Chains A and B, each alone.
Chain A
Amino acid sequence: MAKQVTIVVNGREKQVEKDELSFSEVVSLAFGVPTGSDTTIFTVTYKRGHGHKPEGSLVEGDTVKVKDGMVFNVSRTDKS
């Protein structure tokens, strides 16, 4: 049974009871469940994760092991 961890997603604390999260789950935690077929591309980065790869980015289809205190940032980096 996965223990509960507190992570930060887009600046807000979230309680998560899973060992790992998928790209879409992280996006949902940030912006809610997408309505309809959304082709939006998000830039998803994390920091303070697990030892072997504590920071990096995710693309659709990826998963990452979560850790207490891990910080995620989800953004549509499309503005200039």
Chain B
Amino acid sequence: MMPLGLTTWFRRRMFALVAAASVASAAAPPVAYHLQKRNELVALARSDAERVGAVVASVAEQRPRLWAYDVTKISERLTAEGLSRLAAFTVRDGRGGAVMSEVRAEGGLLWGRREAWLGGKLVAVVWVGVETRAMWVGTLLITLGSTLVAALIGAVLYLLPVRAIARAERRVAGLMGQLALTLQEEERGRIARDLHDGAGQALTAARLHLLALRRAAPEHAERLGPIVVHLDEALDEVRRSTAVLMPPALVELGLRGALVRHCEAVAQATGLEVSFEAPDPMPAVAAHVETACYRVVQEALTNVARHAGAKRAWVSVSLDRLPPRDGLEGEPALRFEVRDDGRGLASGAPRGSGLESIAERARLLGGEASFADAGPGLRVRVTVPLTERSP
């Protein structure tokens, strides 16, 4: 079956798209949270700086010359205003000289700055620091959560369409294979008919004319004899080719009858003892399915005759079910089994082309093939659905 490559093509593009979308959607919540929290902390820092500045301005108003040295008074007033637990703050006078500074936090800080004015003159500049640890912890937790959610959603968005495409691709490929099989068998049948109706008829007519000529001119019988023999050989070849292309027994006797005749022909030609067992009547299947099943048994017996070194072979046909698929119960199926008592498959040896073609036919029909050690010999088992389905 020719691979379409659609699944691979789609998977690559879908992965890139889903990955980009997942990362973008995962990053959005932590970025939004972080920005918002950062703004809140800066606003809080500036608000506290405003309040500290008001305290400093008040003290400066009471002691305009020496307020920058009255740290005790400022501390007392800050405590009274509920500002004694700031993570960090720094007060500078109007010229940038140090007044007081306290840092109680060990981690990172975000700073807010405010100026304190008194009578149109810059009295002090205040910085207040707020801890950022809680913000980072929150950002991390939201990141972990959002990436997990994005990963789960991304996995679903990726797997669902990719699997659907893969299923569709298999169906299309199977249908194409079935179509190829059908066309192949139809073409064979057409060629067989053309051979039979065209070359076969012409050769038969020529033979008849030659026989009539030999009777009419017995003095030429010796020269005409070999021509008739060659014509007979050609006719036999046409019949053999026609039979290979389109087994006449299938048309005349149906699948069961054709298999019985083929088993007898193989037994006669090879000396194998061939047993056959099948339900009577056999369930009806489509014409190309019949042909494919006939060819499976034909190929399997050819394999036994050429490679197995067996004395006996058993051919059986029975009703079975395929394994469940896509959540549905297994379909009714026909099981064809060819077993021999020969040398079996060598351990680790690759399957030959005959067994490979059996496996391929089974797959194109939507069925299964297995090749197992029969102890002694090989068991070839092919199961095909009674109704057509894609591989």
Do A and B pair up? The answer is: no
Please list the residues of chain A having a beta carbon within 8 angstroms of any beta carbon in chain B.
Answer: none
